[in-house]
Structure 1
């Protein structure tokens, strides 16, 4: 599976942040034979915050070059929280989706509302291709002179706002968009972002540095993954014993552990167990035995 991770930022301010978070991303890509594409500086504009616009020509460049894999974009304030996350397995059944991301949190919820600080784009999907072209067109119509005159972020153009417009204008986008806050963003399992609303810039630097150090220390501990798998084994075994009243069969046990290893939450796995036909049949008997 082709997967490229992209990060970009300015060299005046956010480069400090990206130098921290890129440690997890570069390491994760090396470990899984994924590409890592990092861009520093400005592609268009004249203000440091115009680096936020870089993602548009970078991603559209991949589309123009007929790249047909997945693109995972991360802002400078995003890092890999789980180095053992099996991204290929996660994406293996999502080829019908053009875009995967977390809602921005704005209320009321809207189907097209995606935080473009962390997202995955399926570059072979026709809806994704059309959406990226529309996104790029909205940037290209702004003259360089107007862009350079911008005196505060978003006064002339907002990369996320024009992405939302492009999504809404693309036929079939609503059916091809997957909201997944469990995998991407804030307190997600895989990629987490420490956004401006959380704290001031220096506090975010400290939060990210501590988080990245913790991730890398756990990744370098040879016993860490084995410990996680042991814990998963114990939890799934407990599900079977308490909810189904029996020892787990080998196939069911290994299948459940594989799901947890690939990012399925304990909550989702517990819900699957509780709502199964076997559990419905077993619960009355288990209650009588107590």
Structure 2
């Protein structure tokens, strides 16, 4: 529509003027001349003394923005608003662009607009709702990343949706985002960790890591496996790896749960509710099965949970590491070629720490062997060394049980 055909704005015809502009915009076509004419007319009206302030939401201006988005001209809409409002675009404009862009499937524009809304009103629930909608309906990684960044774990309104999104990205094999949404849904982080020497226990851990890693991907936990020696000289010294690994996690700023699993242990029940379990034990620092004795500090650390988000959990690891370094010197390790001959072991060291610091026992939960740490445990099974059973036989037992998982 040529510019000369546009109605002129006067003090006495403001309502009629707006109606005519709105009519023209509704009939908007893609021709550039038409857009230019309407743009000039809109600017003229906004600059008119009877335009009160920028918080006002004139219907014709909103319709013009929407029409630009609907015809694929989102860049033009943003440039128009930046020019009109001198880079101080009001909140309602960002919301208008965001809603129109979602409706038109313009994901990038919608995300950009709602991030602007968040800057202006950080507590806006519409921002979270919009990012959830974009993530769910368009499988947008960018929306998902921003949602994880902005969503507060204290918001209980969307916990169920966070779990749904976690399952969606799990099915898409996107472990990073799945883990992020599981964390938001449950308020926890968890790393499943294994380690082994690259020689003796290598065949066994290659069997168990497959199922343990798969379970981690199903529930949105992370999985780490280290093959080699963090300290020491002989293959069996890999048993000490867990101590510097935990220490390194603390130094790197990881404040979450760690589930440690020996090379001869594996997750048997893929349906186990890890996050519900951790939530039930969120006030604990350490979870382990009982050892061979009856003392409260006598635990088995072939499988254990430790909460590095707990100050007590971190304190236990720091003491464990310090005791390990002071007890097992380089010369001691060099001469210890045979397992457990004239040398302290990592399990006895942590048992001693628990025994000598009874206040830690208040933060220790002893889990049943029916759940973890036995050959028939319901959640995590372990094929422990036992008299008369060779390594090869234990490996065959593991392979037999894992073939159907």
TM-score, normalised by the number of residues in structure 1: 0.71
Unaligned runs of 5+ in 1: 217-290
Give the superposition deviation at 1:163: 1.2
- Check whether the contact 2:332–2:343 (CA below 8 A) recurs between aligned residues: yes
* 1:151 aligned partner: 337
Give the superposition deviation at 1:169: 3.1
1:202 and 2:392 are equivalent in the alignment? yes
* 1:114 aligned partner: 299
* 1:266 aligned partner: none
Alpha-carbon distance in 2 for matches of 1:183, 1:68: 25
- Check whether the contact 2:233–2:334 (CA below 8 A) recurs between aligned residues: yes
- Check whether the contact 2:219–2:274 (CA below 8 A) recurs between aligned residues: no
Q: List structure 1 runs of 4+ shifted beyond 4 angstroms.
A: none
* 2:195 aligned partner: 8
Aligned partner of residue 301 in structure 2, secondary structure? coil
1:53 and 2:243 are equivalent in the alignment? no
Aligned partner of residue 38 in structure 1, secondary structure? strand
How do residues 204-283 of structure 1 correspond to structure 2 at under 5 angstroms?
A: 204-214=394-404, 216=405
Give the superposition deviation at 1:178: 0.7
Alpha-carbon distance in 2 for matches of 1:175, 1:25: 30
CA displacement 1:257-283 (0-9 Å, x = unmatched): xxxxxxxxxxxxxxxxxxxxxxxxxxx
Aligned partner of residue 145 in structure 1, secondary structure? helix
Unaligned runs of 5+ in 2: 1-187
Alpha-carbon distance in 1 for matches of 2:195, 2:204: 11
How do residues 49-88 of structure 1 correspond to structure 2 at under 5 angstroms?
A: 49-88=236-275
CA displacement 1:197-238 (0-9 Å, x = unmatched): 172211100000111112x2xxxxxxxxxxxxxxxxxxxxxx
Alpha-carbon distance in 2 for matches of 1:169, 1:65: 28
* 1:281 aligned partner: none
Alpha-carbon distance in 2 for matches of 1:176, 1:36: 25
- Check whether the contact 1:131–1:170 (CA below 8 A) recurs between aligned residues: no
CA displacement 1:16-47 (0-9 Å, x = unmatched): 10000111101011111211110001111111
Larger radius of gyration: 2
Aligned length: 213
Give the superposition deviation at 1:171: 5.3
Aligned partner of residue 280 in structure 2, secondary structure? coil
Alpha-carbon distance in 2 for matches of 1:153, 1:16: 19
Give the superposition deviation at 1:103: 0.6
Aligned partner of residue 92 in structure 1, secondary structure? helix
Aligned partner of residue 208 in structure 1, secondary structure? helix
- After alignment, is 205-214 or 139-148 more displaced? 139-148
CA displacement 1:156-201 (0-9 Å, x = unmatched): 2211101111222335211111111232111221111000017221
Higher helix share: 2
CA displacement 1:79-135 (0-9 Å, x = unmatched): 00101111001111211111111012x23x010111111000111112211111111
Alpha-carbon distance in 2 for matches of 1:189, 1:63: 30
Q: Which structure has more RCO (C-alpha within 8 Å, separation ≥ 6)?
A: 1
- Across the aligned residues of Structure 1 and Structure 2, the Cα RMSD in angstroms comes to 1.3
- Check whether the contact 2:197–2:238 (CA below 8 A) recurs between aligned residues: yes
